[in-house]
Amino acid sequence: MRLITGPPGSGKTAHILECFRQALRAGNSAVRLLLPTATLARHLENEIAREGLVFRPGLIQTLNGFVEELVAEFPQAPETVVHLLVEEAVARANRPEFRRVAHLPGFCVRLARTLLEFYAAGCDSGRLAACLPETPLAAGFLAVYQEVDRALGRRGLLPRAKRIERAAARIDRDGAKGVRTVWLDGFHALPDPELAVIQALGRCTDLTLTLPDYQATTPLRSRLLSSGFDEERFVRKRPSPAMLLMKAPRIEREVEEIARRIVEQAAAGRPWREIGIIVRAAGAYVPLLRATLERFAIPAHFYFETSAARHPAIRFLTGAIDAMLAGWDHCATLAVLRLAPRFADSPALDALDFAVREQIPNAGLESFQALLPAAEGDIRRLIEDLGALEELRSLELTPGEWAIRWRTLRSLYQPPRDASLDHEMALIWRGHAEALDEFEKVLAAAALALDAERPVALENFWRAVKSVLRLQPLRSHDARRDVVHVLSAPEARQWVLPVVFVCGMVEKQFPQFHTADPFFPDAARRRLQAAGIRVRTAADFEQEEQELFESAISRATMLVTLSYPEFTARGESNLPSLFLDARLRPQSSRLVRPVARHIPAPVPPAVISGSGLLELLRKKTGTLSVSALESWLQCPFRYFGGNLMRLREAPPRPEDRLDFSLQGQIVHDVLAQWHRDPQQDIAALFEGVFAAFCEAKHVPQGYHTERLGNAMLDDLERFATDSQWQRAGFTSRAEEKFVFPLDDSLGISGRIDRLDTDAQGLSYVIDYKYSAVDQVRKKRNSNQLQGPLYFLAAESEFGVKPAGMFFVALKRGVEYIGWSDTGLLESDPIPCEWANTAERVAQIASQIRQGAFAPAPADRKACSYCDSRDICRIEVSESQGVGAIQP
Amino acid sequence: MNFTATQLEAIDTSRKHLDACVTAGPGSGKTTVLVQYFRRLVEGGAHPQQILAITFTEKAAANMRQKLAEAFREDDSVRAALERAWVSTVHGFCARLLRENAVFAGVDPDFYVADERESWRRQQESIAEAVSELFREHPEAVRALIRGLASHEFESLLVSAYDAIRGAGMTVQSVAAMGPPANTARAELAETLRELQADPLSGCNPAQRHHVRTICEDLERIANAAGPLEALQAIESYSGNAAQVKSGTAARQLVKGVRDLLDHLRYTFLTALYQQERETLFEILRRFDRVYRERKSRLGALDFADLEEYAVRLLEENAEIRADVQRQFEHVLMDEFQDTNGQQARLLELVRRTDRFYAVGDVNQSIYGFRHAEPEVFREYRATVEQRGRRLVDLQENFRSRPEILRAVETLVGHAEGIESRPLIAGKVFEKARPVTVELIGVVGEDAGAGLENEARWVAHRILELIAEDPLFRFRGIAVLVRNTEVIPQFTAAFEEAGIPYVVNRGRGFFEAREVKDLYHLLRVIANPRDEVSLAAVLRSPLVQVSDEALFALRMHGGNLADALLALDAAVADLSADDHQKLLHFRDCLHGWRIRRESVSFDRLLLAAIDDCGYQCGSWTNIEKFLAQAREAAERMPLDDFVELIARLRDDNIREPEAPPEDTTDAVNIMTVHSAKGLEFPVVFVAALHKGTKNEASSLAFSRNFGLGARWRNPATGEDKSDLFAHAIHEERKRRENEESHRLLYVAMTRAEQHLVLSFSGKGKKLDHWAKIVASHVPDLDLTAARDEVLTLESPRGEEWKLRVLITSEPPERLPQPKIIEETGAVEWLAPLAFSEQQDANATVTAISAFAKCPREYYLGQYLRFEGRQPKGIGDQGSGLGKAAAARQTPADEFGSQVHALLAGQAVTDCDPSAAAMAETFRQSPLGRRAARASHAEREFAFVMAVEGLVLRGQIDLWFEEGGETVIVDYKTDAVTAVEAHQRAGEYAIQLRLYALALERMTGRAPDRAWLYFLRPNTAIKVDLTPSLLDSPEQVVREFQEAQAKLDFPLREGPHCKRCPFFRDLCPSQYAM
Ligand code: SF4
């Protein structure tokens, strides 16, 4: 057994590869080159094939793969299954010390993680029991561990480490399947089970193992040497790469600067594949790198796992089952359809979406389908296919049968018909197929975790699937050759590239901060180590970080650029990593953006000038409502958006359906009916109207509705008993609609809430405002049009002599605010400007018809209530964030 | 570094084993002191991990860590130890403590800390659920509450009260148990009544006597009322009027006091009347507490209050852990101690040992009452330290401001209520003297609105003058501090008018920033373009920039705006070419974004949109903040939910600060005083001094001292009125806010280093708020006449200082716009490079073969892995999911593998009999027999080789050497007839040629023959291995790579289309059978 040690770049791998090549050239296939990861194995295989050699694929493989061939008959327990078993074990063990936390989602995850660490270190529950350290949670942990061990035994499953141990035993017994020479390269840490296999191989083959010189690998080296390895030391050959440090104000700038430097390299002729980015803090960097590299059109392969459960294809499948289990809740069902790629840009689905939202909460597939126009065959078919799932609900099948049945689910996930894709979309689609494969694995794992013989109901199997899925990672197999490699620091250990970036060199990110294990704190771990169980301590973690860093900066053959952001997103300063050499002077980042793919034309003038459109505008404004005119007075753009264009928003949320406008409608409706017969009980009347409106508008019942209803009723009752207006002295007509011609080209429309006429024939226009008094008082400026136009309508349409006009504020108090010549209710005299109303309105109409609608609010405060406030781009309140000077 | 005597005293570690209280005035170098103290402790032998240093903000913690790292730059081991040192905010400390003791703390070991936005959302959902639940169970109780409570929107108030309860370290239960504050109104009523009745009313006339009798009757009615409702009604019918009682008499005095008394009685009776409803409120709180906790625990989330609460609980419940923690922290250092709340104070008590606490603070800078800070904690601690004869240090030197500024502070607010009067001693030496460093600008006029606008113009004017005057002043060194954000628009408008660059630190709110709205509406449009408001907003935004005319034209097209956009073609009348092109471009882009909507994160959609549209905007930092939110949300929720969440945040007017600008921006900072805490600027304007904040009595309020108070509808009047709790809280709050307002002014003024300008505007002589305070200390300040003069004032310590006073009613003259020097460096625009070699690094031989047959079929089936037409399964009527699959005989691919395995001599479990038969057919065939006789045969022979740089993996079913020939055989299990087999053989030729190539390279000898063996019809077909120029393996591989690189996979229509699963579905082939 030969151990080759040496610093990075000393030619260890090159030596091994040369030996391997020679064996191939000699037609020797009794050799194996064993590596720690599949990516690396694939990478070397490709390299060697490109050199022109043809060989059998199994000759380069992972240590795991090699073991797999030896112990294929012992099924391995996937980590997700172990996790599921931990959940069950925790429940069964029911330990008092865990009672408060057992139900929390992260507890079992954490426990499973620690447990897997023990397994990996070759320590099962029996071995742990023999040297259990004295720490408060150890006994509880052990109890769960024993349960899990038993559960695995019952299912005939072996944890990975156990299988490796078996493989070692088998090699000792039967030899290495005819393999005579073994090289192992790229290993940094060798847990006990792996070490056992290597030693077994060493006994029956000619074995060479390489180990890089890092502080962290020193203990392993000593172990290897003491177990019979002969050491050969390689000295450094490769020259050190140039090293740069770069700082940027923020993480976004940092990543953009990396992109800039990559583009610079590529522009100078370097293939993308010769560039790597090493990331330690994946959570912070990976999504941002994805976005940024994509933005700068840099093709990149991310060697990172994502969560399978978050993949859209899997969300679609799980969403479908969940929706079914929820009785086809409309929201959930809609969410599933939204994930169907075939309808990602479907106007029909958009329309269905709004139709559904207008009625939620709701459930049931039939009522859901009823909202879909008949012509939408494709969507209907998918809904029907989903409906077919219903048949499963009554079944009881064995887990294996369930897994087979669910496998065909993937056919529901139909690709879009238009398959002309760009590289990004193609990559996405290839990812979908991988995700669907992964889903099948999840089904198989869930089946493994359950009792194979016992039929279970759908819900039970489904629960197991979801539990497995929660932790199931997904790895993209981007096979493109010429891409920048974005790697985690551990993954990068086996790579060598000309140009490497190491980002996120700040405190707590690199080195990463490891919190203590809640079950076995550091002291306990040290005791376990002393007992021969190699679980990691804080010192090990720290050493590992150091090793990762040393490894990261030695990955480049030419240039390594370290970088860090000076500030956090909240503007707080970051502390540069302690690994950074204080002598390195940081370069500053530059401000860089990709050239836009489209240069927008200058902003057009805000006037409608096309003759055809002006003609249409004239037609549309042949009749103007009083409220439209008032809206124009407040702001031409408000009129444009709200009255002329009548732009519709997305349907409101159920709890917002009873909004001010609907409340106003209800109050008006009640008052109109009540005035026809003021003797009737307004409360009873209100209840009826309110209920009818709520039903028609799908206003959900609940305290919120109750509360608003209460308030409205209070207001109505207050009004009904209010005696300011002597109703007995008038005859009333309510809710009178009118349209009258103002001149040849303009009609005015509106609706008078109430028209009261006294014995002398004097009429008063009453307009209810379901708003608070303060708001209504604002109407008292003579600029308004409603009063005079109602006057005109009263005269011309209802043949009465108007003597006054009152707004009645109804909310939380009754107040009459208005004008009259009779001085009724402390009213103001009728303004003389009212006499010119016809001309004013004609003038406004002509302005409207000129087609200029630039925003110009008369009252800026009213902008906050304007539905067009986000369209008009007027600054409603405070001004712009960073005050770039406005030209 | 030179330390002053008091600083030396503060950092003296010889007394490290004594509790210490360091009062650190503004600019007194407290961070330096803390860092030095820490440093000396370490140098004195303490391990960094034995020191717990707690700061108030993340910023301060980062600052401290940075300084410590610098201090120990040379000492690697300490520097490394500092990585794990306990230097953080309270929340940071709690989080770490909880993580390390999760199981004992009863928290999820993998918990994450929910940010304020997320917590807000969960609270909203939880309160709605809690109230709905109670309403379902006890509708009458909730109805009564709704009718009784003054506020319609009580949920958010309850949630704030809940937060406050937790901040105070209390529980809903303990608050519910609190009785009303002491109240003597009833006793006073009885006493008043008794005294009035006993009063002989001497000297009163009969009318007066009669009036007093009536009063007595009224009061008796109140005192003897049957219940609170009757009492309240009786109160309203009280008709007494002190004016009708003889003046100068005791009776008049008594009657005068009755109005106040009645008010108190109202509080009392309302409290009694609404006792039940009050209980309902607590019931809602209890349920809310439960629901909210359940929701969080389901997700493994903790909010900030949880961190504190659980940390306290952990230490309270676990004596051992508490002892460990106390043992671990040899020293506990706390910054800004005056800002701790009740819960935090409790936590510190649990963490620290006696005489191991080192607290730094300044009551005069306590301005976080609204966040439940309790400066009393500091005062009490200081008193204890003093009593126990421990270390008290008072850092009075100020190393920030010019002496005149400090004198101004002392003079103008130094003695105001709530400020501990301590001298501010100038400690910094300034090189150059400035003639006047403090100014007061007052704009007084008829119209308050115009006054504020002019005040803002004056501020802008003075900024320009100051910049011109002193080359050391930069825009970025100037801060305009305001108390109330309402006035900010006037200042930004004035700055825009004057050409002054500015940054609003906490302005109108992030979600209302233009660029954030643009992107938000874009996401809404991607989610569903039928939302016409969003679509119109996007179309008018810089993303598209179409004219209003175009919008109108689209609308006139009929139907929904989105439909019109889709139906858009060249024929839309009256659409300018420019608009038309913009709309078409946008429509195409929109399609592209929409098909990616669930597959890429939302930030990527937005970035694509920004680049697709050449979007230009105001604040890129805001965009980045929004992108970060979008990125993070995409990990957790679908697009629809995200837009819904933002909609809610906007609807509820959640104040989210805008993104901090990049440090390099040379712009004036406009910010609230609160956000300026801890900062300093060469020039500070404290503006709009006249503007206070609204202090309306809230309908629901909590105080640690009085519990939960509410305002109720007085049934006797219909008006809203406080109960006893609310009344006491309101009084307490008024006091506190008054004091805090003074401290706020103190903090604002002490931010200035070189120059301080105070400004206000107003109508007439009457001044409000800070303006009033300031003016009251400027002798003979005449607001009626315009003036510009320099006054000499004297500080309380007898030192003179100069104040320039400018009173005006006019706007300033306009100054030329300043020249802005771009410091950040211009943007470098980077053109993307052309993609190359986007093909795969490897492939299988069968893929090449499939490609050769039809590139499109390969593309759909193998490259994209679309499934094509399905073997009927789910959609199959009546078959049920998977039933078909389960019932089918061995599937084709499985069958094929069995045959291949049998022919390779492997054992097959559950073997299909026909597979065995088929294998046997081959064995008995002439070719099979030849193979059996062969001198050398390889079965299932896998290989890796590279062709044209593409790494190919393949597996030869069989090759053998026999009779001096090398022969390759490939079995096919296709269900074909013999005739069809011959037709198909051509499709497989390339595969066999590649096998031949591999064998040739491996063995050094080209194979002589190759056979395709169709097992079903039992037909062997010979394949010609001589490659033609057109379809040599190399050529096909080249085409294959090129097709992948360009994503161009042409159709190769032919009879095989019939077998293609994509025919007449995903493939546009028109091949006619
Ligand atoms: S928000 Fe104001 S400016 Fe904009 S359209 Fe509405 S009223 Fe006009």
3-state secondary structure B404-462: HHHHHHHHHCCCCCCCCCCCCEECCCCCCCCCCCEEEEEEEECCHHHHHHHHHHHHHHH
Strands B397-398 and B425-426, by their bridges, are parallel
Query: Which residues from B are below 8 Å from A883, CB to CB?
Result: 492, 495-496, 500-504, 667
- Residue A637 CA, closest ligand 1 atom number: 5
Contact call for residues B371 and B403 (beta carbons, < 8 A): no
Nearest residue to A167 via CA among A194, A189, A186, A191? A194
Amino acid at position B758, single letter: L
pLDDT confidence of residue B879: 39
Question: What's the rounded mean pLDDT across residues B1014-1042?
Answer: 85
Per DSSP, what are the bridge partners of residue A485? A276, A301
pLDDT tens for each residue of B506-553: 545 788 888 999 999 999 999 999 999 999 999 999 999 999 999 999
Please give the pLDDT value at position B886.
43
Cβ–Cβ below 8 Å for A411 and B875? yes
Which of B755, B663, B153, B647 has its CA nearest to residue B401? B755
Other residues' Cβ atoms within 10 Å of the Cβ of residue A342: 18
User: Residues in chain A with pLDDT < 50?
Assistant: 877-887
The alpha carbon of residue B203 is apart from the nearest alpha carbon of chain A, in Å, by 44
**Phi and psi, residue A77, nearest 5°:** -85, 115
Distance from CA of A380 to the nearest CA of B (A): 12
Tokens of A624: 């103007």
Q: Could you give the CA distance from residue B384 to residue B379 in angstroms, rounded to a whole number? A: 9
Please report the pLDDT score of residue B882 as a whole number: 44
* Contact criterion met (CB < 8 Å) for B828 and A711: no
Tens of pLDDT, residue by residue over B262-296, are 999 999 999 999 999 999 999 999 999 999 999 99
Rounded to the nearest 10°, the torsion over CA B94, B96, B99, B101 is: -70
B651 closest CA partner among A870, A407, A194, A497: A870
- Residue partners of A547: CB distance under 8 A and separation at least 6: A188, A214, A215, A216, A217
Q: Is A869 in the pocket of ligand 1 (CB under 6 A)?
A: yes
Q: Which amino acid makes up residue A508? A: K
Contact B810, A395 (CB under 8 A): no
pLDDT digits (tens, 9 = 90+) for B416-466: 999 998 899 999 988 888 889 999 999 988 777 778 999 999 999 999 999
Q: What gap in Å lies between CA A540 and CA A520, rounded to an integer?
A: 14
At B893 the pLDDT is 75
Q: Which of A45, A288, A335 sits opposite B640 (nearest CB)?
A: A335
B485, B537, B608: residue with CB nearest A871:
B537
A863 Cα to the center of ligand 1, angstroms: 5
Cα–Cα distance list, A197 to A172, A211, A218, B959 (Å): 9, 16, 20, 35
Identify whether the C-beta of residue B765 lies closer than 8 Å to the C-beta of residue B784. Answer: yes
H or E, element range at A694:
helix A682-696
B197 and B722 Cβ atoms separated by less than 8 Å: no
Q: What are phi and psi of A272, to 5 degrees?
A: -55, -35
Is A569 in Cβ contact with B628 (below 8 Å)?
yes
Nearest-angstrom CA–CA distance, A714 and B148: 12
Pair of tokens at residue B488: 């900010």
pLDDT band of residue B884 (cuts 50, 70, 90) is very low
Write down the pLDDT at residue B505. Answer: 66
Structure tokens at A387: 């409906």
The best mutation among A630, A640, A644, A869 to test binding of ligand 1, ranked by most ligand atoms within 8 Å of the C-beta, falls on A869
Pocket test of ligand 1: the residue of A643, A647, A853, A872 to mutate, having most ligand atoms within 8 Å of its CB, is A872
pLDDT, tens digit, for every residue of B665-714? Answer: 688 999 889 888 888 999 999 999 998 887 677 889 999 999 999 999 99
Q: What is the DSSP letter of A240?
A: P
Smallest CA-to-CA distance from A519 within A91, A106, A123, A114 is with A114
**Token couple for B360:** 């730094």
Strands laid side by side in the B720-722 sheet: B700-703, B707-713, B720-722
Q: Tell which wins on pLDDT, A11 or B387.
A: B387
Torsion angle, alpha carbons of B205, B210, B215, B220, to 10 = 130
Q: What is the per-residue pLDDT for B876? A: 37
Contact assessment for residue B155 and residue B281, using Cβ atoms and an 8 Å cutoff: no
pLDDT at residue A636, rounded to an integer: 94
In the predicted structure, residue B873 carries a pLDDT above the cut 50? no
Cβ–ligand 1 contact at A644 (below 6 Å)? no
Q: Is the pLDDT of residue B827 over 90?
A: no
pLDDT at position A827: 85
Number of neighbouring beta carbons within 10 Å of residue B264: 17
Q: How far apart are CA B49 and CA B32, in angstroms?
A: 20
Burial class (CB in 10 A: 0-12, 13-18, 19+), B914: middle
Lowest mean pLDDT among A636-640, A697-701, B638-642, B717-721: B717-721
**From the CA of B770, how many Å to the nearest CA of chain A?**
22
**What is the model's pLDDT at position A7?**
87
**Alpha helices of A722-864 — where are they, by DSSP H?**
773-777, 786-798, 837-849
Contact B711, B170 (CB under 8 A): no
Distance between CA atoms of A498 and A268, rounded to whole angstroms? 14
Q: What is the dihedral of CA B547, B549, B550, B552, to 10 degrees?
A: 130
What is the distance between the alpha carbons of residues A294 and A597, in angstroms, rounded to a whole number? Answer: 13
The Cα-based distances of B373 to B168, B581, B736 in angstroms read: 9, 58, 11
DSSP secondary structure string for all residues of A127-183: HHHHT----TTHHHHHHHHHHHHHHHHHHT-B-HHHHHHHHHHHHHHH-STT--EEE
| Rounded-to-integer distance, Cα A818 and Cα A791, Å | 13
Confidence of residue B571 (pLDDT cuts 50, 70, 90): low
From CA B895, how far away is CA B61, in angstroms rounded? 67
Cite the DSSP H helix spans in B482-560: 488-498, 514-527, 532-540, 548-556
Phi, psi of A649 (to 5 degrees): -90, 175
Write the burial class of residue B1 (CB in 10 Å: 0-12 exposed, 13-18 middle, 19+ buried). exposed
**Is residue B835's pLDDT more than 80?**
no
B401 closest CA partner among B672, B682, B676: B682
- Tokens matching residue B542: 């810089």
CB neighbour list of residue B859: distance below 8 Å, 6 or more residues apart: A419, B1043, B1049
Give the containing element (helix H, strand E) for B479. strand B478-482
3-state secondary structure of B302: strand
In the predicted structure, residue B874 carries a pLDDT above the cut 70: no
| Cα separations in angstroms, B633 against A287, B636, B645 | 12, 5, 10
Residue of B55, B87, B495, B552 to mutate when probing chain A, most A C-beta within 10 A: B552
In chain A, what residues touch B103 (CB-CB under 8 Å)?
A: 97-98, 100-101, 107, 137, 518-519
For B203-240, write each residue's pLDDT tens digit. 889 999 999 999 999 999 999 999 999 999 999 999 99
pLDDT of residue A877: 45
CB of B254 within 8 A of CB of B703? no
SS3 A207: strand
Q: What is the pLDDT of residue A873?
A: 85
How many beta carbons lie within 10 A of that of residue B167, not counting itself? 22
A595 with B830: Cβ contact below 8 A: yes
Report whether the peptide linkage leading into residue B779 is cis, meaning its omega lies within 30 degrees of zero: no
Q: Do A851 and B549 count as a contact with CB atoms less than 8 A apart?
A: yes
**For ligand 1, atom 1, which residue shows the shortest CA distance?**
A869
Rounded distance between C-alpha atoms, residue A621 and residue A636, angstroms: 14
Using omega within 30 degrees of 0 as the cis cutoff, is the peptide bond preceding A361 cis? yes
Residue of chain A with shortest Cα separation from B635:
A310
Are B459 and B685 in contact by the 8 Å Cβ rule? The answer is: yes
Average pLDDT, chain B: 89
Q: What are phi and psi of B947, to 5 degrees?
A: -125, 125
